Structure 1
């Protein structure tokens, strides 16, 4: 095999209280990455589609991820890489993570699968760190592996997944503004009060328990955040109104997706989701702001060959 095309899904990170810890992959939205072998050692990025991305390998998250992987293998194989973006960077849906995850997944396949998919995670993290200026796996892990992933530890990296979430339907709300992850991180507090920390820990435990037991009333109460949401919500036009619409429409969980501006709402009833979507579109129309709506399940597959 000398050429491959893969799909790397977008993802929702943080998921309320799980700052840099929780994330899940979504369906039908992500990156399409085409990689082909070269006859030399060069990593060559062809013009991207859907967004303007750096062509210099060490300035591109996919290039950094691939180079990290090749260095581990001791390989000097060169590649041509084309990235097609189905959603723009700065959306809060893990754009850089999709590129990093999909690129190492593709190269691993072209080289005959020297590593398991999970073993690719540290290399995808290297690429993600270029974009966000820190290591966080809450987008990379679900994009690469699929499903709902939780990071227990970064040193050493230790993740686990929550299974059997087919009952949850996801509404993604993406108002037409852009927020860069590295800028959004600057808004966050460097310390937490004991009161806020205690509540955050309780909500983290409650989200995991609620997902395992299908206790969606508990899930709805627990998807609140004391670290990022109080500061980042002010960057998102209409945030409190959209949150209120979701709650009144029967959502079982609502919060900011990653750094925003995208938001997510979880539903167990598809008719409630449809009604909520219509009301949110009507609201944004009333304030003359464009909004994109995406309806999905939780993607259990992650990166896949097309």
Structure 2
């Protein structure tokens, strides 16, 4: 099992990697609960970097951009269990449990969950589904497991209620600050609009006013300018930076770089070229 496998489709995932793997995670759409079975899980967003190891748990806020690094430790394989807390399931749980929702959440976007025997026992209860991942599990079981995880989270940390049950759309945020911090993520313009609290039309309109150009042109120019800086001033190799700057392949990056600056990135550039 090299790639993540769905234990319960769309709800519970089990990830297994035998070597270091760095995944460009463009858009974390749903809130997520992660239990680290073995190895180290590291996540970097525009504003913070954090990691966890065996036995630790992390609650990740929806609608984030980030990059995850999965590292085996002490000769063991990397293993993690991921519970996807989709909004429709959380809405159903709120109705069933008569949980008051709607308060705007303003706390940290990612929370390390303190050691808790109940949650650890919950993840142990998921392992049989891992061992029999070839069997079809009904969606009703998936809902029950998510419901159990949510209730245990609320028992351990009552303050995460607003984290889980804030269903409001993001407020319109500072467009310039957000784009300068997140331009390197390879996501569609539509996602940038959503994350800044705007419709696509509103995003394009505000973007044109702010940067005097279109989002696609600005993103391409910003990424290539940053690439030139890293190659010229930081002696970075093209193969080491293209993914981190939002390019899908080295050939795509090289073609775009040469078209913009007149030389392939591997040739290097002199100041003023």
Same fold (TM over 0.5): no
TM-score (norm 1): 0.27
- Rg: which structure is higher? 2
Tell me which of the two structures has the higher relative contact order, counting C-alpha pairs closer than 8 angstroms and 6 or more residues apart.
1
Higher helix share: 2
